[in-house]
Chains A and B, each alone.
Chain A
Amino acid sequence: MSTEEIRAFVLASLSAMNYDTTDVDDDTLLGPAGADLESLSLAELGVRVEEEFGVRFDDDEAELLGTMTVGEFGAAVAARIQAAPTAGH
């Protein structure tokens, strides 16, 4: 799974969640200072990633997603996919 594919999935998810992704890039924060996802949106993003790639963020990790940039989040997802190669579909 390439980081480009993961980034594309994250951006598609944000669009599907009715967030404007026009100015979103790897350096954009997911939380209030950037893409402006609030707590439930961050939770939904985590669920979407889990459903798509089979990787899970624990509750305490999920709380930190808002402080990550899109690039950092994509890298975190990629690292988890690599660590659990049998997961995903």
Chain B
Amino acid sequence: MSRIPRSYLLNRLVTLVLTILIAATLIWIIPRLSPVDPAEIALGRMAAGAGSVANADEILAQLRAQMGIDQPLIIQYFKYLGGVLVFDFGLSTASFPTPVSALIAQALPWTLGLMVLSLVITFVIGNLLGALMVWERSPRLVKVAIPAAMVFTSIPPILSGLLLMWIFAAKLQWFPLTGSYGLTVEPGWSWDFAQSVIHHGFLPALSIIVVTFGFWALGMRGLMITVQGEDYTTLAKAKGLRPRYILYRYMIRNAILPQITAFALKIGLLIAGQVLVERIFAYNGMGKLLYDAILDQDFPVIQGVSYVIILMTALSVFLVDLVYPFIDPRVRHEAA
């Protein structure tokens, strides 16, 4: 790390902390602009379960105290901030009184596993295909096939998910229809369980890859065209370098740089973007948790999930900022 100037590091660190603070504040303000009273919703749910509720006012006051919403706003805000720092988002109103953090801890590994893996695969495939669309040595077939495959990019993920489900799960029965793992296996660090997880995760991952690789491929194509016209690419060819070496070390190596920044930004968007995919595959990730929370107006859960999304985005952008001086030496120069 000695190669990164301290001022650069400090600058990024301050940006990181400020981003998280501002985002946490916004997440807190927005639900409070809504006229809905979460205590009344919880009461309504109790009433719906039991037919009727006696001493409604008393219970309401008790619920409000439990949720902490009977206190002045400013105190609520600082209590909230203090809680957020240790990932305490209060109790879920829908699955009362489960702590929100427990729900998130349950869902997060599934999403990280499925979504990050599919994002990485998409990133690699998309950029490679985008580069091949431009490379002059690519077989003609590749140049025709890739744009054709991009048709899938215009399909909403929910449709591609249903389509894949219908073909591979319903008709061919190669993969299970829904769920994160089989009902017959015990969750744990066993080979059976891992196999079941991969088996169940395959279709949701594929449906995400199929619809999103075009984003990377098209972006990469534009960047590659610019790099192709650069003087250093011309000189690389005039040096008599092997075409494949020019493709990797001169063209892709330079064109990929802005894509890496885009990758960091995508990490956060991915949870929000894949809500419906998780929903139709009944996959127990963050997306499904958020979806259900919105339906139930479960504000603490919405807040918690939003916070985690922002935290992930901010952290990945911070990480890319740290890595960037090593992959693009010009950045180090500017910072110094």
Are A and B associated in one complex?
no
B: residues with CB less than 8 A from A are: none
A: residues with CB less than 8 A from B are: none
